[in-house]
Structure 1
Amino acid sequence: MRIFADKLENTLQRQLHPVYLIFGSEALLVQESQVHIEQHAKSQGFSETFRFAITAQTDWNEIFNACNSMSLFAERKILQLDLPESGVNQSISKELLNLQQVLNPDVILIVIGSKLTKAQENSKWFKALNTNGLWISCLTPDAQRLPQFVLQRCHKLGLKPDPEAVQMLAQWHEGNLLALSQSLEKLCLLYPDGVLTLIRIESALSRHNHFTAFNWIDAMLEGKAKRSQRILRELHGEGIEAVILLRTLQKELNTLMSYKQELAHKSLQQVFDQYRVWNNKRPLYTAALNRHTPRSLYSMVCTLAEAEHTAKTDYDTSVWPILTQLTLNLSMPQNA
């Protein structure tokens, strides 16, 4: 069963699962989920914790021994496995399958990893562990979900923000949940009454935006011109290299052109299935494909190529104005 990280505490109150699979790209949610599970398990008598960072040199005999020491006087254990960022190879997959077969009621297994790919979701080891376990998704809330996420965090801390304060907190901390958590803790100390307004937030906090090139791409694909320009300005202010953005955009434009070519004789669903496009990305690509023709996409590719040549050969000329224009071109209809 899969749940989002913000539902974990309520789930723990109802049932303690033998296996927890914590996966996602948001470090704060991963850490908090691990702490919640461990605290609740300890309250239920699982007093001993073993942690293993899985690498090619891991001695799996130690892990299996921790599971197999089951006796009348043995401690009930929490077994935590931190998977490598590179993912699960064939050797690790085999060991995880073997581990699933020797788990017993005196052991709670916590497996922690980065964002899952579709192939990993469908792998034998993941399905085997997820059969009797709980999968906690720790992905960063998108721009639409973030205000509700902020509001929930505020209520949990006894803070009472007005709607404008929620929007400002979400906007200032998008892409940086750790900074959001720190800011809310600071606001708790500064304002014991818990009331949050725009004036109070502006006087207490500095901005903590931390966007990535992928936030910029998603905003353009979705057709949000103002948002994509705001992210581009933030990236510029943070000192990101323009060449990195040019190459990231080049990859997306080439992808869109490939999809357009396939659409000449296939349905959009067939194209997405062929390229194994993630479900959460499909609406973004659909929106961009509906706005643009092969000709408009090719025009942007040519402009981008000229910008990259300028960035690499003419150090006195800034390519940021061109990036701004490309941002508008991709995020708006071709005839706008």
Structure 2
Amino acid sequence: MRIFADRLTEQLNKQLSRVYLIFGNEPLLLQESREAIQTVAKQQGFDERHRFAIDNSMDWNQVYDCTQALSLFSSRQIIELELPESGVNASIAKELLALSDHIHDDIMLIVVGTKLTKAQENAKWFKALSNQGHWVSCLTPDAQRLPQFVQARCRAIGLSPDAEATQMLAQWHEGNLFALTQSLEKLALQYPDGQLTLVRLEESLSRHNHFTPFHWIDALLAGKGNRAQRILRQLEAEGVEAVILLRSLQRELTLLLQMQQQLKQMPIGQVFDKYRIWQSKKSLYNAALTRVSHKQLHSLFALLTQAELYAKTQYEHSPWPLIHQLSVEFCLPSASIPYPA
């Protein structure tokens, strides 16, 4: 059964499962989920913990030996397996499937890995293990869900932010949830009444958000002009190389042009399949294809070429004003662009 990390404590308070599959891309949620499970398990007699980092040289017999222990003779045991970042290959999948037959009441299995793919969700090993416990989703909240995440965190430690404070906390800590946790702990100590306002935040905190070029690209595809400019200003202030942004944008413009051509011959679902667009990205590309015209894409390419010349050869000119112009024009509907005659 799948549960989200913020509901894990609620599940643990009801019943401790034999198996927990902890997967996601958010380090804070991964760490907190592991610690929460271990704490409750220790309270219920799981006093021993064996941790294995899986790689091609791993001796799986050590894992199977742990499953032979019975509480009559020894402590109940936690077996924690950390999957490689490269994912689960056929050999590892075979061992995990076999391990699913060795789980019993005196053994708890915790498997930790990065963000799951659809293929992994449908794999036999994953289904066999998840049927015996819970899959804990530890994905980083996106910009839309982050304010709700902030509110939940505030409630948990007795803070009551108003709407503006919630939005500001989300904006300042996007992509850096460890910093969000530290900021909330600081605010709880500083303001015992728990009331958070915009003025109090500005007096107490500095910005901790961490943006990457991928955040910028996603904002451009979605047509969120203000967000794209805010991200771009921070990337510029942090000294991100202009060429990195231009290369990233070039790939997206090329892809959009190719998909526009294919849309003349096939429906959009087939186009997404052909170019292997992830499910989570389909709405972004759909928004861009709906908003940006063929003519606009060529205009954006011309601006991008000029910015690249500035970045690579004409060092007396900064490419950043053109990158900001690109960011603005990409987010506007094509009818709003004053093209030259």
Report the TM-score, using the length of structure 1 for normalisation: 0.95
1:214 and 2:201 correspond: no
Deviation, 1:96, is: 1.4
Number of residues of Structure 1 aligned to a counterpart in Structure 2? 336
Considering only aligned residues, what root-mean-square deviation do their CA atoms show, in Å?
1.6
CA distance, structure 2, for counterparts of residue 5 and residue 283 of structure 1: 25
- Tell me which residue corresponds to 1:85: 85
Deviation, 1:296, is: 2.1
Deviation, 1:89, is: 1.9
CA distance, structure 1, for counterparts of residue 295 and residue 229 of structure 2: 23
Amino acid at match of 1:218: D
Amino acid at match of 1:16: L
CA distance, structure 1, for counterparts of residue 269 and residue 117 of structure 2: 19
- Tell me which residue corresponds to 2:101: 101
CA distance, structure 2, for counterparts of residue 79 and residue 255 of structure 1: 45
- Tell me which residue corresponds to 1:68: 68
Q: In the TM superposition, what are the counterparts of 1:287-306 in structure 2 within 5 Å?
A: 287-306=287-306
Deviation, 1:79, is: 1.0
- Tell me which residue corresponds to 1:196: 196
- Tell me which residue corresponds to 2:26: 26
CA distance, structure 2, for counterparts of residue 262 and residue 125 of structure 1: 38
- Tell me which residue corresponds to 2:49: 49
CA distance, structure 1, for counterparts of residue 134 and residue 301 of structure 2: 44
SS in 1 for 2:280: coil
Amino acid at match of 1:214: F
Q: Give a deviation string over 1:111-157, Cα, whole Å, max 9, x none.
A: 11111222222223222222222111111111111111111101100
SS in 2 for 1:232: helix
CA distance, structure 2, for counterparts of residue 125 and residue 28 of structure 1: 26
- Tell me which residue corresponds to 1:142: 142
Deviation, 1:183, is: 0.2
Q: In the TM superposition, what are the counterparts of 1:35-46 in structure 2 within 5 Å?
A: 35-46=35-46
- Tell me which residue corresponds to 2:339: none
CA distance, structure 1, for counterparts of residue 111 and residue 26 of structure 2: 15
Cα 1:226–1:16, aligned 2, differ >3 Å: closer, same or farther?
same
Deviation, 1:178, is: 0.7
1:9 and 2:42 correspond: no
- Tell me which residue corresponds to 2:158: 158
SS in 2 for 1:316: coil
Amino acid at match of 1:281: K
Q: Which moved more, 1:143-152 or 1:290-299?
A: 290-299
Is the Cα–Cα contact under 8 Å of residues 232 and 324 in structure 1 kept in the other structure?
yes
Is the Cα–Cα contact under 8 Å of residues 222 and 331 in structure 1 kept in the other structure?
yes
Q: In the TM superposition, what are the counterparts of 1:211-250 in structure 2 within 5 Å?
A: 211-250=211-250
CA distance, structure 1, for counterparts of residue 276 and residue 195 of structure 2: 47
Deviation, 1:255, is: 2.1
SS in 2 for 1:280: helix
CA distance, structure 2, for counterparts of residue 93 and residue 69 of structure 1: 23
Is the Cα–Cα contact under 8 Å of residues 69 and 106 in structure 2 kept in the other structure?
no
Is the Cα–Cα contact under 8 Å of residues 250 and 304 in structure 1 kept in the other structure?
yes
Deviation, 1:189, is: 1.2
Cα 1:91–1:315, aligned 2, differ >3 Å: closer, same or farther?
farther
Is the Cα–Cα contact under 8 Å of residues 209 and 234 in structure 1 kept in the other structure?
no
- Tell me which residue corresponds to 2:311: 311
SS in 2 for 1:208: coil
CA distance, structure 2, for counterparts of residue 256 and residue 18 of structure 1: 47
CA distance, structure 1, for counterparts of residue 205 and residue 267 of structure 2: 49
- Tell me which residue corresponds to 1:335: 335
CA distance, structure 2, for counterparts of residue 54 and residue 70 of structure 1: 24
- Tell me which residue corresponds to 1:251: 251
SS in 2 for 1:315: coil
CA distance, structure 2, for counterparts of residue 327 and residue 70 of structure 1: 62
CA distance, structure 1, for counterparts of residue 23 and residue 316 of structure 2: 45
Unmatched tracts of structure 2, length 5 or more:
337-341
Amino acid at match of 2:188: C
Cα 1:295–1:125, aligned 2, differ >3 Å: closer, same or farther?
farther
Instruction: Calculate percent identity across the aligned residue pairs.
Output: 58
CA distance, structure 2, for counterparts of residue 301 and residue 128 of structure 1: 49
Deviation, 1:71, is: 5.6
CA distance, structure 2, for counterparts of residue 35 and residue 330 of structure 1: 44
Is the Cα–Cα contact under 8 Å of residues 25 and 114 in structure 1 kept in the other structure?
yes
- Tell me which residue corresponds to 1:280: 280
Deviation, 1:21, is: 1.2
Report the TM-score, using the length of structure 2 for normalisation: 0.93
SS in 1 for 2:234: helix
Is the Cα–Cα contact under 8 Å of residues 224 and 331 in structure 1 kept in the other structure?
yes
Amino acid at match of 1:329: E
